[in-house]
């Protein structure tokens, strides 16, 4: 009913709008004022966590994209090797696991069969399993050694939005917690990240306030067949997520690429007026990546692409090559997915509407996939 949708036409719109609160709620009570993390819920003891020599993340779909981003954070902040694998592939390839592996299963519903089977396999090998889940008491957390709940509230639309942002927050918390427990050198960078993380829900809110031009742009693309997405570093999984949203909702051919791979094949897809969304890393910090992606934008534009550039405020280098420029607040690179994904959700939702598709219930899809 309209009341259930809180005045929005679709649950998806409501859930996109709820993201600042979902993010804040997932952080609530987990970072103390001194900047240290309290994750009592993670009932794997600090001494066990100190023994971990490998992290393996298993998930499907959007949750898998959260896992891909988590890998950058976990390896950078903790120096523990981290693999990410599609849950449906995991147990069939005889993965190397033992009691020193920490397996993280990410699932909004907690009922995804592929993810459940992957975690059962991991536990049979003696690994500890930590679930990141949005649904209290669901099967995946019940069968795990520990659970860190995301506090997104119920997600009704089939296309995952607020659950994804809170999965990212949970992954950052786990990464920072592992660093804290293991005594990773707690440098200024980590302190700054914790501070930025505790303020990030306001930045998500600011992004939401500036989405009208994104909607207008989406409507002009309703008759297109293809949209491509490019990113680097954590922007690469963001590109994959943007493409997945568009497939699910707009039923368009959408593909995400690592920008560095362009020259190894995908650049052949670039032709006159094909829309290419590019997620640009911050020019601060890892500026090498930034400069490389700016030259990618130049290259594809020279070949006729219509460039839709998502770049942080103050990044002037992209301006000459952007047919459409979407601004996001400046954040540390690793946290950028929390703000960069939002315009892609809005874009896909509006394109779906413009194409006359059912936003909350896309064809052929179920909210939770309880079969293998």
Query: What residue ranges bind ligand AGP (CB under 6 A)?
Result: 60-63, 107-109, 112, 115, 158-160, 248, 368-369
Question: Least distance from C-beta 9 to ligand AGP, angstroms?
Answer: 18
Question: Least distance from C-beta 2 to ligand AGP, angstroms?
Answer: 23
37 or 103, CB closer to ligand AGP?
Answer: 103
Question: Least distance from C-beta 157 to ligand AGP, angstroms?
Answer: 8
Contact partners, residue 167, CB within 8 Å, separation at least 6:
62, 63, 66, 106, 108, 132, 134, 150
160 or 296, CB closer to ligand AGP?
Answer: 160
Q: Which residue has the tokens 């907690």?
A: 110
Helix %, strand %, coil % of the chain (to 5): 50, 15, 35
- The 8 Å CB, 24+ separation contacts for 356-362 are 357/249, 357/250, 357/251, 359/9, 359/10, 359/12, 359/13, 359/157, 359/159, 359/249, 360/10, 360/11, 360/12, 360/156, 360/157, 360/158, 361/158, 362/158, 362/159, 362/248, 362/249, 362/251
Residue 367 bears catalytic tag: yes
107 or 127, CB closer to ligand AGP?
Answer: 107
DSSP 239-292: HHHHHHHHHHHH--EEEEEEGGGGGGTGGGG--TT-EEEEEPPPSSSSHHHHHH
Q: Which residue has the tokens 């069969």?
A: 113
Contact 95, 127 (CB under 8 A): no
Structure-token pair, residue 317: 């280098």
21 or 367, CB closer to ligand AGP?
Answer: 367
Question: Least distance from C-beta 168 to ligand AGP, angstroms?
Answer: 13
Catalytic residue among 54, 224, 247, 367: 367
CA–CA separation, 351 and 105 (whole Å): 31
Parallel/antiparallel/unpaired status of strands 128-133 and 146-149: parallel
Parallel/antiparallel/unpaired status of strands 101-107 and 128-133: parallel
Question: Least distance from C-beta 343 to ligand AGP, angstroms?
Answer: 16
Question: Least distance from C-beta 322 to ligand AGP, angstroms?
Answer: 27
132 or 204, CB closer to ligand AGP?
Answer: 132
Q: Return the residue nearest ligand AGP (CB atom).
A: 61
CA–CA separation, 71 and 51 (whole Å): 19
117 or 146, CB closer to ligand AGP?
Answer: 117
59 or 217, CB closer to ligand AGP?
Answer: 59
Contact 338, 171 (CB under 8 A): no
Question: Least distance from C-beta 146 to ligand AGP, angstroms?
Answer: 17
Active site residues: 367
């Amino acid at each position: 009913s309209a009341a259930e949708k809180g005045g929005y036409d679709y649950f998806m719109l409501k859930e996109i709008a709820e993201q600042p609160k979902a993010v804040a709620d997932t952080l609530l009570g987990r970072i103390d004022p001194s900047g240290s993390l309290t994750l009592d819920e993670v009932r794997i003891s600090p001494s066990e966590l100190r023994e971990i020599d490998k992290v393996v993340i298993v998930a499907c779909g959007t949750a898998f994209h959260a896992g891909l981003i988590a890998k950058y954070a976990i390896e950078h902040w903790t120096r523990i090797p981290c693999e990410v694998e599609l849950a449906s592939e995991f147990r069939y390839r005889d993965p190397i696991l033992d009691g020193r592996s920490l397996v993280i299963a990410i699932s909004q519903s907690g009922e995804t069969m592929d993810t459940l089977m992957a975690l059962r396999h991991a536990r049979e090998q003696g690994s500890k399993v930590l679930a990141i889940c949005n649904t209290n008491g669901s099967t995946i957390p019940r069968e795990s050694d520990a659970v860190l709940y995301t506090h997104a509230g119920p997600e009704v639309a089939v296309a995952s939005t607020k659950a994804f942002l809170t999965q990212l927050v949970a992954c950052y918390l786990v990464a920072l917690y592992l660093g804290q427990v293991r005594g990773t050198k707690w440098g200024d960078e980590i302190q700054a990240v914790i501070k930025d993380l505790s303020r990030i829900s306001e930045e998500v809110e600011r992004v939401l306030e500036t989405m009208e031009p994104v909607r207008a742009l989406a409507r002009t693309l309703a008759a297109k067949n293809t949209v491509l997405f490019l990113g680097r570093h954590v922007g690469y999984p963001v590109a994959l997520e943007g493409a997945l949203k568009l497939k699910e909702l707009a039923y368009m051919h959408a593909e995400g690429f690592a920008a560095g791979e362009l020259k190894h094949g995908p650049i052949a897809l670039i032709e006159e007026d094909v829309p290419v969304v590019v997620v640009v890393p911050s020019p601060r910090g890892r500026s090498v990546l930034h400069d490389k992606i700016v030259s990618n934008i130049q290259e594809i534009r020279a070949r006729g692409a219509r460039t839709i550039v998502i770049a942080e405020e103050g990044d002037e280098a992209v301006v000459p090559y952007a047919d459409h420029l979407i601004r996001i607040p400046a954040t540390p690179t690793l946290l950028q997915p929390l703000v960069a994904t939002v315009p892609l959700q809005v874009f896909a939702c509006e394109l779906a509407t413009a194409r006359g598709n059912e936003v909350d219930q896309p064809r052929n899809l179920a909210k939770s996939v309880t079969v293998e």
